[in-house]
Amino acid sequence: MFHETSVGPRWMVYLGAAVLAFLAAITAIAVPAIVAKPDAPNPWIVWLLPVAFLLILAAGVLFFIRRITLTVSDTHITAHLVPFRVMHIPLTEVRQVETTTATIGDAGGLGWRLAGSAQFLLWSPGPAVCVTLTDGRTRVLRTDHAPELTRVITHSS
């Protein structure tokens, strides 16, 4: 019915590369310190190093992935901030759909944002679809194909 993938800003790739370079530097410093004292390593370093390594590695990889996918099926609107599903809206809960303009200021930032009873999903300002649910909450989905997405949701719900 409808499927769109949008890619995040290029600066996120550079930030991801910087995070991974930082990880490599910290690992290069910490591992020799642990190996140099194998009989008496500091227990905090032994515990903290693998946890920090995994968290920083995950952050770096997520900056590289930086994708949003919007899909409308026969029954749901699904939005992923890859690899996480952040919205799964049954079409039976849709009360109103309208084309709008999303801004970074309204959303409070990039990506998946919560602002009161509204949820935003955007990488940049521009055309969007505002979906109002039967309970009054709203979902604002940034898309380059706002009229088409509005039409698909309207005819599906």
Cβ distance 26 to 92 under 8 Å? no
First to last CA, the chain: 13
Helices and strands in the chain: count of H runs, count of E runs: 4, 9
CA 87 to chain CA centroid, Å, is 11
Per-residue pLDDT tens for 20-54?
999 899 888 877 877 777 676 667 767 877 888 89
pTM of the shown model: 0.79
Give the residues across from 112 on adjacent strands.
121
Q: How far is CA 75 from the centre of its chain?
A: 23
